[in-house]
Amino acid sequence: MSIEIKIRLNNNLYLRDPQETTLGQRIIKDGIILIDEIGLEQFNFKKLAKKIGSTEASIYRYFENKHILLIYLVSWYWEWISYLIDMRTMNIESAEKRLKIIIKILAHASKNDPAINYVDQDILHRLIIAEGTKAYHTKAVDSENQKGFFLNYNQLTDKIGKIILEINPHFAYPNALASNLFEMANNHCYFAQHLPRLTDVQVEGDNFGEVEKMLCYFAFTLIGKVNEAE
């Protein structure tokens, strides 16, 4: 007996729902691990098939190609962040406090949730940081956006944007700030580790505390309300 969390995603993202079968779950689980290991460019379905002891053809029965698999994983991440936000900001009155919690989630992604055993969330977080934006930086953005492939990102931005407006209803850029907090969280975790001259924060191991602090400073300074929560 255990609680099982199922993350619902646009069913045009897959040919067969990977969450429904053990093979599908292994594609997700080891797909994340392998992309993290060798990078999206070196990754392909043949290598993944070998890793999970299956065949290329079988993986193609679940996902059209690796690009769609990436969008699936990224969507999964967006939806999971959304879920974490809902869980952890529930019953919290202060919008400032809620935004602080959101920023913590964006920076740390959070430790593994045992309720989902076919996704290693720490590795997925690293994958999103390194490869995430490739999902929507292609010539197919417009058509894929129309199919709703990026709905989860849009909704996440909406959700954070609304909380920003709660703090300051006159703030002119709620959605831009929301998406920027997300992108900045990922970028500066990456920069700290690979291109340190592009940032001022430092990351020791997987402690993204400084990233969180910076995002808080940026967000609350921009929104223009002194953080009453402290």
Under rule CB under 8 A, which residues in 158-187 are in contact with a copy of itself? 158, 172-176, 179-180, 183-184, 187
Residues 63-102 that bind DNA (CB under 7 A): 64-67
Q: Which does 190 bind (CB under 5 to 8 A by kind): DNA, a copy of itself, none?
A: a copy of itself
Q: Does 139 bind a copy of itself (CB under 8 A)?
A: yes
Beta bridge partners of 81: none
What crossing angle do the helices spanning 121-131 and 66-89 adopt, rounded to 10°? 120
**Chosen residue from 5, 12, 16, 50 binding DNA by CB under 7 A:** 16
Partner in contact with 107, chosen from DNA, a copy of itself, none, beta carbon below 5 to 8 Å by kind? none
Of the candidate residues 191, 203, 212, 216, the single one contacting a copy of itself (CB under 8 A)? 191
Stretch that binds DNA, among 45-53, 154-162, 163-171, 200-208 (CB under 7 A): 45-53
Question: What distance in Å separates the CA atoms of residue 67 and residue 72, rounded to the nearest whole number?
Answer: 9
Q: How many residues bind a copy of itself (CB under 8 A)?
A: 47
Among 133, 162, 207, 225, binds a copy of itself (CB under 8 A): 133
Please report how close the Cβ of residue 96 comes to DNA at its closest, in angstroms: 46
Q: Does 126 bind a copy of itself (CB under 8 A)?
A: no
Between 34 and 160, name the residue whose CB sits nearer to DNA: 34
Partner from a copy of itself, DNA, none contacting 46, C-beta within 5 to 8 A by type: DNA
Task: For residue 219, give the nearest of 79, 46, 96, 105 by alpha carbon.
Answer: 96
**For residues 27-52, b (16+ Cβ closer than 10 Å) or e, as one string?**
bbbbbbbbbbeeebeebebeebbeeb
C-beta separation of 85 from 163 below 8 A: no
Decide whether 60 or 217 has the Cβ nearer to a copy of itself: 217
With beta carbons less than 8 A apart as the criterion, state whether 58 and 49 touch: yes
Q: Are 79 and 8 in contact (CB under 8 A)?
A: yes
141 binds a copy of itself, rule: CB under 8 A: yes
Within 22-51, which residues bind a copy of itself (CB under 8 A)?
38-39, 41-42
Q: What angle do CA 162, 165, 170 make, to 5 degrees?
A: 150
Residue 204 has what DSSP assignment? B
Determine the Cα angle at 166 with ends 226 and 149, to 5°: 120
Q: Using an 8 Å Cβ cutoff, are 59 and 48 in contact?
A: yes
Residues that bind DNA in the complex, under the rule CB under 7 A: 16, 21-24, 42, 44-47, 53-58, 60-61, 64-67
